[in-house]
Amino acid sequence: MKVLEVKEVSVAYGVIEALKGISFSVEEGEIVALIGANGAGKTTTLRTISGLLRAQKGQITYKGRDITKLPPYKIVELGLTQVPEGRRVFSRMTVLENLEMGAYVVRSRSELKAGLERVFERFPRLAERKNQLAGTLSGGEQQMLAMGRALMSRPELLLLDEPSMGLAPLLVREVFSIIQEINKAGTTILLVEQNAHMALSIAHRAYVLQTGEISLEGPAAELMQKPEVKRAYLGE
Amino acid sequence: MEQWLSSVIDPYYQQVLMLVGIYIIAALGLNLITGLCGQLTFGHAAFLSIGAYTAAILTRDFHLPFILSLVLGGLMAALFGILLGIPVLRLTGDYLGIATLGFGEIVRVAFTNMKITGGAIGLAAIPRASNLINVTFFVILAVAAVVLLENSRFGRALKAIREDEIAAEAMGINAMWYKIQAFGIGCFLAGISGGFYAHLLQYLNPNDFGFLKSFEILNFVVLGGLGSIPGTIVGTTVLTLAPEFLRFVQEYRMMIYGLLLVLMMIFRPHGLLGGVNFRRLLRRRKQKATALSS
């Protein structure tokens, strides 16, 4: 079943066209990677899906429902949550408060508690630091907090924007293995990455975005073998 | 009760204390908007004046009871706050500041040219209905309300918007709606404060509510520590009392007051109590004590 379908979506910042009618889809249970260079339109795509930006043309459907014109808070309520680029934790709030914010759409106390337990189980470091201000965490811990925060709303589809950004290689590996675990636990994932190698190594399928258009698509393992992908994104 | 009070506290000090209380109510409102929700506004005095004129006209010309007029004045300020907020809260940072500054001036000029407000001559013969008891009562009410708000789901959402509006939206918070609500509540408190002000001084002039007054209230909040309720109370008290206690230096009064502000910003840029978490402070004290004893 298609969880997310993006059809012919165009987005422009003033006169600059960032997305020129892109189409792609995400199936239930998949990890789909969207890779591309700086300025290709990866972040724009994610922000348009989560409602932070408006598409001028095209349609976005989530589980068969048109969400193109919904505001971001309504989209989160439907079970589609974004981990924004650069983590964007609430730095002057504690780790615990950050997680509680993640569960903002969850109204019941018991569900909130269950969510906290789940996140602390997956990220034991966050449990140790739950009363610390989020701004004092290391980059890796902040990324984990951003992911944990997003998981608090029990999303069915998780959008991840550059989870590897600014992290040491060892941490990148850790973050990606956590992404795989989250996926195995039943969350569909759409991942935007500059680190094409890491993204392709965990994704089922991938799309290559080039200056606002999708230039290549296919199973991640196949894309990894393509000479043009190797040359442009894998540095070989 | 009032007679008993004046036998204990000198009327002059009563007046000063009432002013402190009145400004605390207004500053708490501004702290909600700017300190907690992070929305910069330079037009707070305008809402003070809306509340002040509304309440004053209601008691003076329509003979409504004081407390009722006060609340209606607050609601009127909130209404204007919301009407202004809907278009301008889309702006952020300095842009929002300038827009609210402009609104403040519009209100001042409007009151200068309206008949019902007495125009440039001002509105006189307002009954004196503010006293230390009702002011204190409303200060306690306002403090309790903002403390409850800050620690609620609503308050957490405001803080999240202050920290990062985009991330807050990504969490499912309708940022625009929350900002408007915060603005409305903040303006309501300003309006209440204005009502007390009118019924204390018994005379209103539009020029008393220019942008200088807005900055004065912003000063209270920033000096105390943006976002801190105890800070707001301390900041307002210190800055309202300072000019009174500095009267002995006569014409150097405002110079010293200014110097105080400059020194404050150099030595405590986050305000007197800004960034101070009382619970955490206590915990640290205990840790230090145990470390020393062992």
pLDDT number for residue B290? 66
Indicate the pTM of the whole model.
0.87
B171 vs A52: CB contact, 8 Å cut-off?
A: no
Lowest-confidence segment of A43-52, A220-229, B81-90 by average pLDDT: A220-229
Q: How far is A228 from chain B (nearest CA, A)?
A: 35
Q: Which amino acid, residue B180?
A: I
Closest to A76 (Cβ–Cβ): which among B159, B160, B171?
Answer: B171
Average the pLDDT over A231-235 and give the result: 72
A84 vs B173: CB contact, 8 Å cut-off?
A: no
Predicted confidence (pLDDT) at residue B278 exceeds the cutoff of 80: no
DSSP A27-96: ETT-EEEEEE-TTSSHHHHHHHHTTSS--SEEEEEETTEE-TT--HHHHHHTTEEEE-TT----TTSBHH
Q: Which amino acid, residue A40?
A: A
CB contact A71 to B (< 8 Å):
yes
Q: Phi first, then psi: give them for residue B167, nearest 5 degrees.
A: -65, -40
Predicted confidence (pLDDT) at residue A52 exceeds the cutoff of 70: yes
A105 vs B172: CB contact, 8 Å cut-off?
A: yes
- What is the chain A residue with the closest CA to B173? A73
Q: How many domains does chain B have?
A: 1
pLDDT number for residue B275? 65
Average the pLDDT over B67-81 and give the result: 97
B171 vs A153: CB contact, 8 Å cut-off?
A: yes
pLDDT number for residue B261? 79
> Are B35 and B226 in contact, with CB atoms under 8 Å apart?
yes
Q: What is the pLDDT of residues B6-58, one digit of tens each?
A: 778 888 889 999 999 999 999 999 999 999 999 999 999 999 999 999 999 99
CB contact A82 to B (< 8 Å):
yes
Average the pLDDT over B107-113 and give the result: 95
pLDDT number for residue A62? 95
pLDDT number for residue B287? 66
Q: What is the CATH number of the domain that holds B38?
A: 1.10.3470
Average the pLDDT over B76-102 and give the result: 93
Predicted confidence (pLDDT) at residue B110 exceeds the cutoff of 90: yes
Q: Residue B265 — very low, low, confident or very high, per pLDDT cuts 50/70/90? A: confident
Indicate if ipTM > 0.95.
no
CB contact A149 to B (< 8 Å):
yes
Average the pLDDT over A27-50 and give the result: 91
Q: How far is B90 from chain A (nearest CA, A)?
A: 14
The number of CA neighbours under 13 Å toward the Cβ of B118 is 17
Predicted confidence (pLDDT) at residue B294 exceeds the cutoff of 60: no
What percentage of chain A reaches a pLDDT higher than 90?
A: 67
Q: How many helices (H) and strands (E) does chain A have?
A: 10, 10
Average the pLDDT over A55-70 and give the result: 94
Q: What is the pLDDT of residues B201-243, one digit of tens each?
A: 999 999 999 989 999 999 999 888 888 999 999 999 998 988 7
Which of B52, B82, B55 shows the shortest CA–CA distance to B69? B55
CB contact B279 to A (< 8 Å):
no
What percentage of chain B reaches a pLDDT higher than 70?
A: 93
Residue range(s) defining the domain that contains residue B17: 2-293
CB contact B166 to A (< 8 Å):
yes
CB contact A50 to B (< 8 Å):
yes
pLDDT number for residue B279? 60
**Chain B contacts of A102, Cβ < 8 Å?**
171
Lowest-confidence segment of A14-18, B97-101, B132-136 by average pLDDT: A14-18
- What is the chain B residue with the closest CA to A87? B167
Q: Residue B289 — very low, low, confident or very high, per pLDDT cuts 50/70/90? A: low
Q: What is the pLDDT of residues B125-170, one digit of tens each?
A: 999 999 999 999 999 999 999 999 998 989 999 999 999 998 999 8
**Chain B contacts of A101, Cβ < 8 Å?**
156-157, 160, 168, 171, 173
CA A72 to chain centre: 14
Q: Residue B282 — very low, low, confident or very high, per pLDDT cuts 50/70/90? A: low
Q: Residue A68 — very low, low, confident or very high, per pLDDT cuts 50/70/90? A: very high
**Chain B contacts of A76, Cβ < 8 Å?**
170-172
Average the pLDDT over A29-58 and give the result: 91
Contacts of B149 (CB under 8 A, 6+ apart): B32, B155, B185
pLDDT number for residue B93? 81
pLDDT number for residue B17? 94
- What is the CA angle A60-A63-A66, rounded to 5? 35
pLDDT number for residue B28? 97
pLDDT number for residue B274? 72
pLDDT number for residue B281? 63
Q: What is the 3-state secondary structure (H, E, C) of B151-196?
A: CCHHHHHHHHHHHCHHHHHHCCCCHHHHHHHHHHHHHHHHHHHHHH
Output the average pLDDT for chain A.
91
- What is the chain A residue with the closest CA to B168? A101
Q: What is the 3-state secondary structure (H, E, C) of B24-50?
A: HHHHHHHHHHHHHCCCCCCCHHHHHHH
CATH architecture for segment(s) A2-86+157-234: 3-Layer(aba) Sandwich (3.40)
Predicted confidence (pLDDT) at residue A58 exceeds the cutoff of 60: yes
A93 vs B160: CB contact, 8 Å cut-off?
A: yes
Q: Residue B245 — very low, low, confident or very high, per pLDDT cuts 50/70/90? A: confident
CB contact A73 to B (< 8 Å):
yes
Q: Phi first, then psi: give them for residue A27, nearest 5 degrees.
A: -90, 155
